[in-house]
C-alpha cells in the first residue's frame, strides 16, 4: 500500500464530507479510513474513483437548490412617447 496514495484519498474524503456539511468526528474518520482501505485493496478500478463513489454515497441526499426567484407573474411595461 502506497502511503502517499492513502494520504491523498483520506484527505479528499474528509474534505469532501466537511464541505458537504457532514460534521467530522471520530466515527466519520473511522469510516473514511475504512473506505480508503477498501478502495486500495480492490484492483478493478482506480482507487480514487472507488473511494469517491463511496464518499458521495455516504452523504445524505442533496438538499434542493434554493429557489433563486419566486414564480413568475408576467406583466409588461408601457413606453412613454418622446
Partner 1 sequence: MNSQLPELLPDAASAHDNWRVSARCRRLLLLMLVLGQTLAATWLLLAVLPYHGRTWVEAGIAVLFALLFTWLSLGFWIALFGFVLRRCGGDQRSLLHRQSAAALATTPLDRTAVVMPIYHEPVARSLLGLKAIYRSLEASGTLQHFDFYILSDSRDADIWLKEQTAWQALRTELSSESATQPRLFYRRRRLNLKHKSGNIADFLRRWGHEYRYMLVLDADSLMGGETIVQMVRLMQRHPRVGILQSSPRLLNAQSLFARIQQFANQLYGPLFTTGLAAVQLGEAAFWGHNAIVRIAPFMQHCGLRRLPGRGLFKGAILSHDFVEAAYMGRAGQEVWLEPELHASYEESPPTLSDELTRDRRWAKGNLQHLWLMLFGRRLKLAHRLAFLNGIMGYLASPLWFGFLLLTTVEVARLVLWPINYFPQPNQLFPLWPEWHPSRALTLIGITLTLLFVPKLLALADVLISGQRRRYGGALRLSLSVLIESLASALLAPIRMLSHSRYVIEALFNINLRWAGQNRSGETSWLAAIVDQGIGSLLALGWAAFALWLQPMFFLWSLPVAIPLVLAAPLFVLFSRIGIGGWLREHSLLLSPDEQQGNALSDALNQPSSLPVLCERDAFVEAVIHPATNRLQAGLAHAPRARRQQQELQLLRQRCLELGPDQLERAHKQLLAEDADALRWLHQQVWLSPPDSPWGRCLAARIADGDDRHDGVQAASHS
Q: What are the residues binding partner 1 (CB under 8 A)?
A: 8, 11-12, 15-16, 18-21, 46, 48-49, 52, 62, 64-70, 72-82
Longest Cα–Cα distance of the chain, Å, equals 78
Residue 29 C-beta: closest distance to partner 1, Å:
15
Would you say 3 or 64 has its CB closer to partner 1?
64
Query: What is the torsional sign of CA 47, 57, 23, 66?
Result: positive
Q: Please, are residues 34 and 73 in contact by the beta-carbon 8 Å criterion?
A: no
Would you say 25 or 75 has its CB closer to partner 1?
75
Residue 54 C-beta: closest distance to partner 1, Å:
13
Residue 37 C-beta: closest distance to partner 1, Å:
19
Enclosing H/E stretch for 71: none
Amino acid at each position: 500500500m502506497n502511503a502517499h496514495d492513502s494520504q491523498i484519498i483520506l484527505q479528499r474524503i474528509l474534505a469532501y464530507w466537511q464541505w458537504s456539511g457532514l460534521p467530522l468526528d471520530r466515527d466519520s474518520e473511522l469510516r473514511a479510513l475504512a473506505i480508503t482501505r477498501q478502495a486500495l485493496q480492490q484492483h478493478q478500478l482506480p482507487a480514487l474513483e472507488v473511494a469517491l463513489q463511496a464518499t458521495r454515497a455516504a452523504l445524505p441526499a442533496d438538499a434542493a437548490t434554493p429557489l433563486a426567484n419566486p414564480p413568475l407573474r408576467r406583466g409588461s411595461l408601457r413606453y412613454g412617447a418622446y
